[in-house]
């Protein structure tokens, strides 16, 4: 989901939101916007690239291996 879509929809959450992108830069901007809108939001520092570099895996909904593009 793009930040524009989130803002346009007036996104609301019942709890904290974790925002993720590939590098952590766009998600940092998105988290700041959500925080500015009164939500509790966290950015995954370093994004999915850091997630993979830390030895973690990416898995699709169907259980198969995922990838970061």
Question: Which tens digits make up the pLDDT trace of 7-62?
Answer: 777 777 899 999 999 999 999 999 998 898 888 999 999 999 999 999 999 999 99
Residue 67 lies in a domain: no
Considering the domain boundaries, does residue 69 fall inside one? no
Asked if residue 66 is part of any domain, the answer here is no
Asked if residue 15 is part of any domain, the answer here is: yes
User: Among the residues of the chain, which ranges form H helices?
Assistant: 3-9, 25-36, 47-53
Average pLDDT over residues 1-11: 75
Number of neighbours of residue 23 by Cβ within 10 angstroms: 13
Alpha-carbon distance of 49 to 15, in angstroms, equals: 25
Q: Name the residue range of residue 28's domain.
A: 3-53
Please tell me the distance from the alpha carbon of residue 34 to that of residue 40, in angstroms, as a whole number. Answer: 7
Domain count, the chain: 1
Residue 62 lies in a domain: no
């Amino acid at each position: 989901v793009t930040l524009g879509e989130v803002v346009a929809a007036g996104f609301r959450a019942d709890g904290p939101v974790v925002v993720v992108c590939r590098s952590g830069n766009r998600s940092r901007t998105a988290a700041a916007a959500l925080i500015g809108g009164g939500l509790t939001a966290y950015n995954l520092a370093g994004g999915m690239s850091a997630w993979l570099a830390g030895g973690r895996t990416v898995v699709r909904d169907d259980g198969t291996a995922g990838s970061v593009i």
